[in-house]
């Protein structure tokens, strides 16, 4: 605490004057003395402690003296110092991805505690809270009320969705009102390269130091052979320590387990053979690590694809790519493609899209391609799990479909799209790309063929909170989503894209008499955890600055209360006379 204006210290003479006045003022009081014999005794009693008796019998004096002392203290303009965060406005960007669950207590809980601590240092300045994700969410905008902000932070939950940090930070920058705004990022780890060019704003990154032990199931696949079902589970140890555990495969009442041992940074494949022919399988990892969200993975065995029908007008490289997958490729004349049913169709005839048969549309026969330049940008989608498009060159693109979902683009123009019926569209001729030279080309064709095959009882694989167009049709138009028999929420046909639940697991999608299985699982990005650090980038020179808070308002309120009490004492004294 400090004093702003010592020049008013001379006003201390006012309460001193009041004290002297009460000490020396004359006040005569009639006192009957029965006899002169008692006169000396009475005078001795009065003179023994005259000043103390005066003080004891003057409540009005105490109140006046207290009010004057507070007035003198207020004229000195007292203040208290408080350390507050640097900046006039704050934006809290909160990472709600699955990796924030790592650790015990979790990184997410630690960051919530840190947010509450920093909130106390904002000094009543406006705070905005933004949650990460494909569609960043603002849960508080320019909020000054501490209780509201604390409640919002306490209610934060992990959404399991990929953070999409770069996209979220671009969104947060649109909320900046002035140059003094500081953006605080609460995450487990954020590469400095993400903020390398953002020097015009102030960033404070709050990371989590220390590498945690983590072993994850990266891939889980099953195939049907003459001897029965076979499975392969890919397990990766990210830590430096050697760890032992077990992998357990289960379906219904059947379960099979295999012991595993992983060295530091080791990756192994665990095979399982002679499995019963069931469609829904779950692989569970039992190991002593510090991140359990990636220790379980579920897969659905779909009907295998044996044949594809390919439009004879397409380049031979398309047929060669499918033949490399050991599929039976049947070349069909363009005017006969609409008669083919029962297997995926590969063509460039847009009129066949959404006609019932699953279609892979490569190019368009109803539009002209335009020249394009730039790198391919892909969204999170199962089609790219095994087939990344990094380094693929495309020279010409056809115009996209307005009603289709874009999952890959070049320079903002659609490259790969999905129709509402599940058809896949590649908006380029194969000969106008160098894609066939990349290993990802046959892998993409394999993923596309499996995506088009589908299943009458399986809706598909989804990532947490993923929004996707799906083919659902019922007489009521309503589908209810359950997990382990518990109702989660409903989806109404035609009310926007289908939204997957946030938590991973197996869900039942029920509509009328239909029951479809749906699997929500983490992306590979959310199966790898990394250690981070705290750092600053941009205009922020320090974390804290000292701010003076005047304590005059409570002093004035207390003086007013004293005056009211003093008036009541004075009024009662007059009434008793």
Tens digits of residue pLDDT in 288-329: 999 999 999 999 887 667 788 898 889 899 999 888 887 888
> Is a pLDDT exceeding 70 seen at residue 14?
yes
Confidence of residue 542 (pLDDT cuts 50, 70, 90): very low
Identical topology for domains 215-289 and 307-448: no
List of E strands, 420-521 = 424-426, 458-462, 467-468, 478-483, 486-492, 498-499, 505-511, 514-520
Nearest to 11 by CA among 67, 58, 52: 67
Task: Of 30-39, 243-252, 278-287, 300-309, give the lowest mean pLDDT range.
Answer: 30-39
Q: How far apart are CA 11 and CA 121, in angstroms?
A: 36
Tell me the average pLDDT of the chain: 84
Per-residue confidence (pLDDT) for residue 16, from 0 to 100: 79
> Is a pLDDT exceeding 90 seen at residue 160?
yes
> Is a pLDDT exceeding 60 seen at residue 547?
no
Give the residue-averaged pLDDT of 201-215: 91
Assess if CATH 3.40.50.410 describes domain 87-211+528-541. yes
Of 130 and 134, which is predicted with more confidence? 130
Per-residue confidence (pLDDT) for residue 7, from 0 to 100: 73
> Is a pLDDT exceeding 80 seen at residue 232?
yes
> Is a pLDDT exceeding 80 seen at residue 395?
yes
Per-residue confidence (pLDDT) for residue 539, from 0 to 100: 65
SS3 of 26-87: the string is CCCCCCCCCCHHHHHHHHHHHHHCHHHHHHHCCHHHHHHHHHHHHHHHHHCCEEEEEEEECC
Nearest to 372 by CA among 406, 400, 392, 395: 395
Say which residue the tokens 């640097």 belong to: 86
CATH assignment, 458-521: 2.60.40.10
> Is a pLDDT exceeding 90 seen at residue 207?
yes
Per-residue confidence (pLDDT) for residue 543, from 0 to 100: 45
In the chain, pLDDT over 70 holds for what percent of residues? 86
Task: Of 286-300, 382-396, 425-439, give the lowest mean pLDDT range.
Answer: 382-396
Nearest to 95 by CA among 532, 477, 456: 532
Per-residue confidence (pLDDT) for residue 31, from 0 to 100: 66
> Is a pLDDT exceeding 60 seen at residue 52?
no
Assess if CATH 3.40.50.880 describes domain 307-448. yes
3-state secondary structure at position 492: strand
Rounded to 5°, the CA angle 89-95-97 comes to: 165
Superfamily, domain 215-289: Immunoglobulins (2.60.40.10)
Give the residue-averaged pLDDT of 203-225: 90
pTM confidence score = 0.64
Per-residue confidence (pLDDT) for residue 554, from 0 to 100: 80
List, for residues 354-389, the tens digit of each pLDDT value: 666 678 999 999 999 999 988 999 887 778 877 889
- Annotated domain spans of the chain: 2-80+551-575, 87-211+528-541, 215-289, 307-448, 458-521
């Amino acid at each position: 605490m400090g004093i702003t204006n010592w020049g008013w210290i001379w006003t201390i003479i006012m309460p001193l004057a009041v004290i002297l006045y009460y000490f020396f003022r004359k006040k005569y009081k009639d006192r009957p003395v029965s006899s002169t014999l008692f006169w000396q005794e009475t005078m001795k009693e009065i003179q023994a402690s005259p000043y103390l008796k005066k003080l004891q019998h003057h409540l009005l004096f105490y109140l006046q003296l207290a009010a004057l002392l507070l007035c003198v203290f207020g004229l000195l303009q007292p203040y208290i110092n408080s350390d507050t965060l640097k900046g006039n406005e704050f934006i809290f960007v909160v990472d709600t991805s699955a990796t924030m669950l790592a650790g015990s207590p979790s990184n997410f809980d630690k960051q919530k505690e840190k947010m509450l601590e920093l909130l106390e240092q904002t000094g009543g300045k406006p705070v905005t809270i933004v949650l990460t994700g494909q569609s960043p969410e603002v849960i508080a905008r320019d909020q000054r009320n501490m209780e509201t902000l604390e409640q919002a932070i306490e209610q934060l939950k992990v959404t399991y969705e990929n953070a999409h940090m770069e996209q979220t930070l671009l969104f947060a920058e649109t909320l900046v009102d002035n140059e003094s705004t500081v953006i605080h990022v609460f995450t487990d780890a954020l590469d400095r390269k993400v903020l390398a060019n953002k020097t015009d704003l102030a960033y404070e990154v709050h990371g989590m130091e220390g590498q945690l032990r983590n072993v994850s199931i990266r891939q889980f696949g099953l195939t049907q052979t003459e001897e029965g079902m076979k499975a392969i589970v890919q397990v990766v140890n990210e830590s430096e320590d050697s760890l032992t555990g077990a992998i357990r495969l289960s379906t219904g009442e059947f379960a099979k387990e295999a012991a595993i041992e992983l060295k530091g940074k080791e990756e192994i494949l665990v095979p399982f053979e002679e499995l019963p022919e069931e469609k829904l399988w779950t692989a569970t990892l039992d190991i002593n690590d510090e991140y359990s969200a990636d220790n379980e993975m579920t897969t659905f065995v779909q009907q295998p694809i044996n044949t594809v029908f390919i439009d004879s007008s397409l380049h031979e490289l398309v047929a060669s790519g499918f033949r490399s997958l050991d599929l039976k490729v049947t070349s069909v004349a363009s005017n006969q493609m609409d008669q083919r049913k029962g297997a995926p169709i590969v063509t460039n005839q847009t009129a066949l899209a959404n006609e019932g048969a699953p279609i892979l549309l490569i190019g368009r026969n109803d539009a002209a391609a335009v020249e394009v330049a730039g790198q391919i940008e892909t969204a999170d989608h199962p089609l790219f799990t095994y087939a990344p498009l990094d380094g693929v060159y495309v020279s010409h693109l056809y115009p996209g479909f307005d009603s289709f979902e874009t999952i890959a683009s070049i320079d903002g123009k659609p490259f790969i799209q999905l129709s509402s019926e599940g058809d896949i569209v590649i908006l380029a001729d194969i000969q106008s790309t160098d894609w066939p030279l990349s290993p990802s080309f046959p892998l993409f064709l394999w993923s596309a063929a499996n995506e088009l095959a589908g299943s009458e009882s399986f809706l598909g694989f989804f990532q947490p909170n993923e929004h996707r167009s799906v083919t659902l049709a019922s007489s009521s138009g309503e589908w209810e989503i359950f997990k382990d028999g518990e109702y989660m929420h409903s989806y109404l046909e035609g009310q926007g894209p289908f939204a997957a639940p946030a938590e991973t697991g197996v869900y039942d999608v029920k509509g009328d008499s239909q029951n479809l299985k749906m699997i929500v699982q983490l992306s590979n990005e959310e199966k790898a955890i990394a250690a981070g650090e705290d750092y600053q980038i941009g205009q922020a020179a320090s974390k804290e600055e000292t701010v003076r808070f005047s304590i005059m308002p409570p002093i004035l309120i207390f003086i007013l209360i004293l005056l009211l009490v003093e008036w009541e004492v004075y009024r009662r004294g007059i009434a008793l006379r």
